Amino acid sequence: MIRTEKLEFTIGDFNLRDLNLEIPEKTYFVMLGPPGSGKTVFLECLCGLKRPRQGRIFIDGKNVTTLEPRKRGIGYVPQDYALFPHLSVEKNIAFGLRNAGHDSRSNRRKITQIAEMLTISGLLERNVTDLSGGEKQRTALARALVVEPEVLLLDEPVCALDEGTRQTVCAMLLDIQRKLRLTVIHVSHNLEEAFSVADRAAILNQGILQQVGPLGQLLRKPQNEFVARFMRCENIFTEQQDVKLARPHPGKAGMMIRPENILLLPIDECGTEYENQFIVEIARYRDFGAYVKVELAGPLNLVAHLTHAAFERLQIEPGRQVKAVLPPQSIHTFHP
């Protein structure tokens, strides 16, 4: 398990503040946050490249806060991979093994194994400057994994890749994590990427940890407006005088409902059994392939995501009125 206690780090105007986090062993953990939120600084503190101003870091119960990076048993893949440009792919992979002082036959075997696992056996003699983005990524991964770390830290590992390669690589990362039973901490600002790999996730903003938990919880039960917005929920309201919403926890003033949970009905459809019904007008819509995003104007401005079937059935077009239902059980409340 990785545990941080009241971790604080300051660089210029930026502060990583009072970061308390527990990452269970053999978990694929994703640290999410917008650019500049402190994700990379957090990783660098974990692997010993930055010294925290305050707080402690524990890996498997051992306090490693003041331990040198080489003694932490951590593999690190920085953003853009930082492959050594003066070494071939094979020598890049062998770099850490040479420091460990293993015999050359065992090193050779390990390099072959990891290269086969990451399908880069044919690239070993190549210069790293001649590799594609995906090949560089796999080489950097092989270099970090070949020394058999307990923990693997990945800083935006797929952000430099194209969409298709990104999905393949995410699947590969998850596969490797499961196969090698590693604790992986993956830093990203991309939600799709997180959904494709994460067992658990956290959201960081301006150096402050906002929420930790399974992604489904971050998605449906955000603790604050920032988390809700980061998880792409646009239907966020505070208590309004003119619109009363039935909701599970009336004491909390912040409310959100996910766009996919809003029910749209034809205006003439009888629906008296529903609470939280409004007549709204369709302002505009856009087809995103998997769903259609519909913007609605009314007592509450709403965004709904519809399936194509629902979209066809409701004959959505701008200016048309429909009935919007916000089921109380789908409304999540929080302190704003």
Is residue 96 within the footprint of other proteins (CB under 8 A)? yes
Kindly tell me which residue out of 6, 70, 229, 249 binds other proteins, with binding defined by CB under 8 A: 70
Is residue 95 within the footprint of other proteins (CB under 8 A)? yes
Kindly tell me which residue out of 6, 86, 178, 229 binds other proteins, with binding defined by CB under 8 A: 86
C-alpha pair distances (Å), 189 with each of 30, 32, 33, 203: 10, 5, 5, 9
| Of 39 and 143, CB closest to other proteins | 143
* 131, two tokens: 């590799």
Total number of residues that touch other proteins (CB under 8 A)? 24
Is residue 59 within the footprint of other proteins (CB under 8 A)? no
| Range in contact with other proteins (rule: CB under 8 A) among 64-72, 131-139, 190-198, 208-216 | 64-72
Within 8 A by CB and 6+ apart from 3, the residues are 21, 22, 23, 57, 58
**DSSP assignment of 182-237, as one string?**
-EEEEEES-HHHHHHH-SEEEEEETTEEEEEE-HHHHHHS-SSHHHHHHTT---EE
| Range in contact with other proteins (rule: CB under 8 A) among 12-20, 42-50, 228-236, 321-329 | 42-50
| Range in contact with other proteins (rule: CB under 8 A) among 31-39, 40-48, 51-59, 194-202 | 40-48
HSE on the CB side for 61, CA within 13 Å? 0
Kind of pairing, strands 28-32 and 183-188?
Answer: parallel
Kindly tell me which residue out of 28, 29, 42, 76 binds other proteins, with binding defined by CB under 8 A: 76
CA distance 50 to 45: 5
Is residue 38 within the footprint of other proteins (CB under 8 A)? no
CA distance 68 to 62: 13
Is residue 33 within the footprint of other proteins (CB under 8 A)? no
From start to end of 82-171, where are the E strands? 151-155
Shortest reach from residue 96's CB to other proteins, in Å: 4
* 103, two tokens: 């015999």
Is residue 2 within the footprint of other proteins (CB under 8 A)? no
CA distance 97 to 176: 20
| Of 57 and 300, CB closest to other proteins | 57
Closest by Cα among 263, 333, 253 to 302? 263
| Of 135 and 295, CB closest to other proteins | 135
| Of 101 and 289, CB closest to other proteins | 101
Shortest reach from residue 309's CB to other proteins, in Å: 49
Q: What is the residue type of 292?
A: V
Binding site residues, other proteins, CB under 8 A = 44, 47-49, 68-70, 72, 74-76, 78, 80, 82, 84-86, 95-96, 99-100, 143-144, 147
